[in-house]
Structure 1
């Protein structure tokens, strides 16, 4: 799949997610609102009243109820003036709330840095068109030849002309 198509799907998905999470009151129908911070959970009821979990009263005569030291045993069905909320939350002391915008920016920045590094590596390692030792060895017309003879005394022996070389041996006798 082309990167442009993948990026357009990612941006479209983020846009739809941002639109759906933009107005919580439309999604919740002005019912309950829940805010989790550390180990405490804040539940805002649609009307002022008593918040109960089963038959246990959590707090009375308020619109915003805070459940401190929330744990998995406190997950379940909550009632506030005949309105019901099923809450299943995970909490921890060091948890932080990260918005979808922050996650999207981190992903886009990571992709841009990765593309930048790949372009640097690609253009940095590309072979140069100028002659270099590596490029000369790959030419088809370049056959290995011995270096030129520096001195005529070292010329190779030519067959058929032995008389030139016969006189050399007389000086050593």
Structure 2
């Protein structure tokens, strides 16, 4: 089996292995932090270091009035122990926004910007040429003819019978 064909299989196996890993679930609401342990079997024992005390409800550990300082937490059952380093920033006056609200704000901002662009375009459309520094336009009734351009004596055309003017311009031999 060639190496190029094994890359997709390796990627699929890695994704399957990563999705099977269990993680802590951390929910923050105001100054209350709720942590859910990935262990689900038996009675779960929570331990906290760093002065953080909270209440445990088997798989959940709730810290009320969290002050944004780091905490080390662990949950364990009879056979396994998991550790969590919690460094969550919380505030009492924060407002939570859902995805629909954020999408609405962005869409409204884009529409307002588009409206301003259209207004600027239509108001500036009528003023073209008013602020220009070009001379006043000529009246259309009279057509002025331009005189022919002044010939440059350095580029005078060769006329029949007058080749002696250019006789001195023959290539030189080196």
TM-score by length of 2: 0.52
Residues 91-114 of structure 1: per-residue CA shift (max 9 Å, x gap): 111112234554344223212211
SS in 2 for 1:46: coil
Aligned partners of 2:33 and 2:66 also within 8 Å: yes
Alpha-carbon distance between aligned partners in 2 of 1:60 and 1:68, rounded to the nearest angstrom:
11
Q: Does 1:64 align with 2:60?
A: yes
Aligned partners of 1:50 and 1:59 also within 8 Å: no
Alpha-carbon distance between aligned partners in 2 of 1:46 and 1:99, rounded to the nearest angstrom:
25
How many residues align? The count is 113
Q: Which has the higher strand share?
A: 1
Compared CA separation, residues 28 and 125, structure 1 to 2 (3 A) = farther
Residues 1-173 of structure 1 mapped to structure 2, 5 A cutoff: 29-47=21-39, 48-54=43-49, 58-60=54-56, 62-73=58-69, 75-81=70-76, 82-100=81-99, 102-127=101-126, 139-142=136-139
- Structure 2 residues not aligned, in runs of 5+: 1-17, 140-174
What do you get for the CA RMSD once the two structures are aligned?
A: 3.5
Residues 102-138 of structure 1: per-residue CA shift (max 9 Å, x gap): 4344223212211111111211231179xxx999xx7
Structure 1 residue 51: Cα displacement: 1.8
Structure 1 residue 34: Cα displacement: 0.6
TM-score by length of 1: 0.52
- Structure 1 residues not aligned, in runs of 5+: 1-25, 143-173
Alpha-carbon distance between aligned partners in 2 of 1:104 and 1:52, rounded to the nearest angstrom:
40
Compared CA separation, residues 94 and 60, structure 1 to 2 (3 A) = closer
Alpha-carbon distance between aligned partners in 1 of 2:124 and 2:67, rounded to the nearest angstrom:
55
